[in-house]
Amino acid sequence: KSNHFICMFAFHRIRPQLAKEKIEGCHICTSVTPGEPQVFLGKDKAFTFDYVFDIESQQEQIYTQCIEKLIEGCFEGYNATVFAYGQTGAGKTYTMGTGFDVNIIEEEQGIISRAVKHLFKCIEEKKEIAMKNGVPPPDFKVNSQFLELYNEEVLDLFDTTRDIDAKNKKSNIRIHEDSTGGIYTVGVTTRNVNTESEVMAILYFK
């Protein structure tokens, strides 16, 4: 019904066994064929994705393969959404980096912190290129929202008046689609941010 093009990719990541699982003698029930985007479950089931990451995959590899081009596409006018889906214990928090541990080493950083760093690096590069070419640097405005989808309700994690124990309370946040197919929210706290450290600070200490 519209002229805009939407493309979605599904990436599958298999996490390593947890220490508890090893102690309990749990067996790894999945296998992958190198270079093939398939996951085999047991002997008779196979599932195909756009890309499959095995248990040896690293955080940087995930970001480079899945996210890097999305951030760069933002500067060309493209919207992008990334979300992790899976049952409890699947590794969503680790992959996305929403644990926000200030002591985490760089190699272990997840998608969010890497994306924020990449975004502001691109902004600085765009400004430097403009200055070298003798033209006014572009003006960038970055806004941040922090939402949680819980039991089909959207929660505003930046809302300091929100009762954190009342997760079952009806949310006033509304999600709309504009005339070009873009998605926007109403009733959400928005914070203007200017640096990578500023973004991470409000996420850590929201």
Q: Tell me the per-residue pLDDT of 48-73, one tens digit each, with 9 for 90 and over.
A: 999 999 999 999 999 999 999 999 99
The CATH number given to 58-139+194-205 is: 3.40.850.10
Give dist(CA 178, CA 195) in Å, integer: 29
Does residue 3 have a pLDDT over 80? Answer: no
- The pLDDT, as a whole number, for residue 1 is 42
- The pLDDT, as a whole number, for residue 127 is 96
Does residue 2 have a pLDDT over 60? Answer: no
Where are the chain's structural domains? 1-57, 58-139+194-205, 146-189
- The pLDDT, as a whole number, for residue 145 is 93
Q: Is 195 annotated as a binding residue?
A: no
Considering only residues 165 and 69, tell me which one the structure prediction assigns the higher pLDDT. 69
Q: Is 134 annotated as a binding residue?
A: no
Q: Is 87 annotated as a binding residue?
A: yes
What's the mean per-residue pLDDT of the chain? 88
The predicted model gives 142-150 an average pLDDT of 89
Q: 111: which 2 tokens?
A: 């998608």
pLDDT-derived band at 12, boundaries 50, 70, 90: very high
Confirm if 128 and 118 have CB atoms less than 8 A apart. no
pLDDT-derived band at 182, boundaries 50, 70, 90: confident
The predicted model gives 170-189 an average pLDDT of 86
Q: Which of 173, 74, 104, 75 shows the shortest CA–CA distance to 96?
A: 104
Top mean-pLDDT range of 76-80, 166-170, 188-192 = 188-192
Considering only residues 182 and 94, tell me which one the structure prediction assigns the higher pLDDT. 94
Does residue 4 have a pLDDT over 60? Answer: no
Q: Is 93 annotated as a binding residue?
A: yes
Q: Considering the entire predicted model, what is its pTM?
A: 0.85
* Per-residue model confidence as pLDDT tens digits over 75-133: 998 889 999 999 989 999 999 988 766 678 889 999 999 999 999 999 999 999 999 99
Q: Helix 111-132 vs helix 196-204: angle between axes, to the nearest 10 degrees?
A: 160
Q: Is 91 annotated as a binding residue?
A: yes
pLDDT-derived band at 153, boundaries 50, 70, 90: confident
The length of the chain, given as a count of residues: 206
Q: Is 88 annotated as a binding residue?
A: yes
5: Cβ contacts below 8 Å, ≥ 6 apart: none
Q: Is 58 annotated as a binding residue?
A: no
Q: Is 189 annotated as a binding residue?
A: no
